[in-house]
Amino acid sequence: MAGNVVGAGLIVEGEFTTEEEVVIEGTVRGTLTTAESLSIGSDGVVEADLRALSVVLAGQVTGNITANSRVDIQAGGRLIGDVKAGRLTIADGASFRGNVDMDV
Amino acid sequence: MAYASVIGSSSVIRGNVRGETSLEILGRVEGDVGISGDLSLGPDAVVVGTISGARIVIGGSVQGDVTASEAIVITETGRVVGDLTAPRIGMSEGALVRGSVRSEGGAASGRSSSPRSAEVRAPAPPPVERAAPRAANHAAPVANHASAAKAPAKKAPPPPVIQAPRAGARARKRMLKR
């Protein structure tokens, strides 16, 4: 069980900070910072800048993503924003518009 | 009891949380929480803002008004500084409440007997009174406030004394005009 679940139908607006894992199936607007992994489900809608250890994206994100470890944009995932991460994967069927900054 | 959404114990949200879902808060929310489903506040949860939901179980701290369409239940670890409004309100021994409590039908039940039952249930507030003596620590500051309030009251009288001659002066001017 994840530490944080923003379930379908829930809308969180503002500054969201946590040390635990986050699963988003609802809506998040503002900023989200977690020390653990972040998962945005296929119904998840995020209009926020995200900071996490790792990010798995299957829903929609408008905002910049910073991950200490990695970012995985899955098929059906949609990202408009920049990515700063050590590793990045973009699955076939994902859409992405933005810049990538990887540790080289 | 499984809630569709969870805000973890290490989480801090500065902003509003709303939606059509049930929610369990274990962390801290500095903002308003308004959901259509059930809401639970864990023992370590803190909410600074107004809360609304269907059935609200409070085991943590709330600083703000709480309104439920079904019921409010405050457990023994619950603390609320704010007004409670719901058709049904329950409080466990040990719960701390500072605010007005209003348990009235209307929001959910359309029964004609609901107002009466609300009156019967009205004695719910006593736990508040019981809670008050326990908060003896709080009582002392209140006394200080009271004495502090009296002090300025003693200082207050002089102004009218100063004003009185002014009034007299005005009166004299009026007299002169006449």
Which helix (H) or strand (E) element contains residue B158? helix B158-177
Tell me which residue in A4, A14, A17 faces B6 most closely, judged by beta carbons: A4
Say yes or no: A2 contacts chain B, CB-CB below 8 A: yes
How far apart are the C-alpha atoms of B60 and B7, rounded to whole Å? Answer: 13
Compute the Cα dihedral for B18, B23, B28, B34 and give only its sign: positive
Tell me which residue in A9, A16, A20 faces B20 most closely, judged by beta carbons: A9
pLDDT tens, chain B, 178 aa long:
589 999 999 999 999 999 999 999 999 999 999 999 999 999 999 999 999 999 999 999 999 999 999 999 999 999 999 999 999 999 999 999 999 999 976 544 444 333 433 333 434 444 444 444 444 444 444 444 444 444 444 444 444 444 444 445 555 555 555 4
- Note whether A14 contacts B31, CB cutoff 8 Å: yes
- Per CB-CB distance under 8 Å, the chain B contacts of A19 are 8, 10-11
Nearest CA among B154, B69, B54 for reference residue B107 = B69
pTM passes above 0.95: no
Q: Are A44 and A62 in contact (CB under 8 A)?
A: no
- Per CB-CB distance under 8 Å, the chain B contacts of A11 are 16-19
